[in-house]
Amino acid sequence: MSSIINSDWTDPECPVARTLDLVGDRWSLLVVRDAMDGARSFTEFQRRTGIARNVLTDRLRKLTAHGLLAQRTASSGRRQEYVLTEVGRDLFPVILTLRQWGERHAFAPGETHSTLVDQHGTPVPEIAPASADGTLLDTDTTHVRKAP
């Protein structure tokens, strides 16, 4: 379908661009979202995302090739399953901030949506980026320093 290895980056020195080169397409992050919420099998990913099967094949392979997913034999039986690696699980803050932005801006007031809760059923608080001294940070108070 398409090449699995991607070693020419859109913008090699920008970490944002590199991340998007790896997971910044229409479906990869939804696959990761579902993996975080318990999906392991091809069919389960397909059912949850609604992605076309050939495209899912491609995405699972790419995510695996890039080390975000691992394919291992299911505990019982011979079936294979896809599980998040530590690298893949580390996308948690990305999925969480996407979720929180969506909750704030992509729903009409009063419209219901799913929520992320912790083990006690308590909703996860909103992420608020802050500097080391605790002051809140945003676009106006930060800037990119180019690599040396």
Partner DNA sequence: CATAATGGTTTCAATTCGCAACCGATCGGG
Partner DNA sequence: CCCGATCGGTTGCGAATTGAAACCATTATG
Give residues in contact with DNA (CB under 7 A): 1-2, 25-27, 41-44, 50-55, 57-58, 60, 77-81
User: Would you mind telling me the total number of residues written for the chain in this entry?
Assistant: 148
Q: Of 135, 144, 39, 137, which is closest to residue 88 (Cα–Cα)?
A: 39
CB atoms inside a 10 Å sphere around CB 47: 12
Residue 71 binds to a copy of itself (criterion: CB under 8 A)? no
Write the DSSP symbol of residue 139.
Answer: G
Q: Which does 8 bind (CB under 5 to 8 A by kind): a copy of itself, DNA, none?
A: none
The tokens for 83 are 């599980």
Q: Which stretch binds a copy of itself (CB under 8 A): 39-47, 57-65, 72-80, 87-95?
A: 87-95
Write the DSSP symbol of residue 140.
Answer: G
Q: Which listed residue (26, 47, 72, 79) binds a copy of itself by CB under 8 A?
A: 26
Cα gap 27→14, rounded to integer Å? 22
Residue 1 binds to a copy of itself (criterion: CB under 8 A)? no
Q: Which is nearer to DNA, 29 or 96 (CB)?
A: 29
Residue 47 binds to a copy of itself (criterion: CB under 8 A)? no
Cα gap 47→98, rounded to integer Å? 22
Site size toward a copy of itself, by CB under 8 A = 77
Cα gap 88→31, rounded to integer Å? 11
Q: Which does 58 bind (CB under 5 to 8 A by kind): a copy of itself, DNA, none?
A: DNA
Considering the complex, what minimum distance in angstroms separates the CB of residue 78 from a copy of itself?
26
Q: Which is nearer to a copy of itself, 4 or 90 (CB)?
A: 90
Q: Which is nearer to DNA, 77 or 125 (CB)?
A: 77
Would you tell me the crossing angle of helices 92-105 and 28-36 to the nearest 10 degrees?
100
